[in-house]
Amino acid sequence: MNYFLLELFLGIGVMLLPFLGVVIWRKMPVFHGIGVILLGIYLGMVWNITGLPTIQTFHLEVQGGVSMIPFQDFSAFGCIANVIMVMPLGFLLPLLWENYRKLWKTALAGFSLSLCIEILQLFTFRATDVDDLLMNTLGGIAGYGCYLLAVRLFSSWKDIWCGRISRKQEKQEAILAFLLVALIRFVVYPLIYSGVFALLL
């Protein structure tokens, strides 16, 4: 049994079904709904890649170390990987919601995501590094640049992927997406994975 593939498909499936339900519930346009589902799957993968805690691994006491000196242990691969990891966020947010079509808002979203990751990693055995915060924020900005290039090449994307809803509804959708990912990855997924893994042993 290839447990990597099991975890991959199970992870995608666990994220796909709830987000599909939200898309149907809110009666989102087709392309906008697809984009929101992709955002949910992407955020779920980020949770897994960064080793964020789950209900089974969370510790109240601080476990990891903190490095506050920029580029103290410089790694070109690590910097590039951190930039690439957040680029999809910088691309999808302005594509899906007009509220994020300002660079500073998308950059702030990338910074906020990275800050949440670094804070949560304090409660695991992984290190918290200011380099990650800087590179992740840069990744959000780079993703925004890719969005600008995409809508210049495909001008219709500005409309077909956007929900065309009020600013209040946009904020509700974005917050709901992030909260749903946190609930699924912190509570639901680890319990389902443990159950499936136990059945296969």
In this predicted structure, what is the pLDDT of residue 92? 98
Judged by DSSP in three states, 192 sits in: helix
Judged by DSSP in three states, 187 sits in: helix
In this predicted structure, what is the pLDDT of residue 1? 52
**Residues 6 or more apart in contact with residue 139 via CB below 8 angstroms:** 82, 83, 84, 85, 86, 87, 89, 90, 110
188-197: long-range contacts, CB 8 A cutoff, minimum separation 24: 188/14, 189/10, 189/11, 189/14, 189/44, 189/54, 190/54, 190/55, 190/56, 190/57, 191/55, 192/10, 192/14, 193/7, 193/10, 194/56, 196/6, 196/10, 197/3
In order of 23, 46, 155, the CA distances from 17 in angstroms are: 10, 18, 31
Q: How many Å apart are CA 34 and CA 30, to the nearest integer?
A: 6
At residue 185, what is the residue type?
R
Q: Quick check: 10 and 196 in contact, CB under 8 A?
A: yes
Q: Quick check: 67 and 73 in contact, CB under 8 A?
A: yes
In this predicted structure, what is the pLDDT of residue 129? 80
**pLDDT per 10-residue tile (average), the chain, 201 residues:** 73 89 91 96 93 82 67 82 97 96 96 93 78 95 98 92 86 92 92 78 63
Number of domains composing the chain: 1
In this predicted structure, what is the pLDDT of residue 166? 86
Judged by DSSP in three states, 68 sits in: coil
Domain that holds residue 41: 3-200
Q: Quick check: 93 and 109 in contact, CB under 8 A?
A: yes
Q: Where are the alpha helices (DSSP H) in the chain?
A: 3-25, 30-49, 76-96, 103-121, 130-153, 157-160, 167-183, 189-200
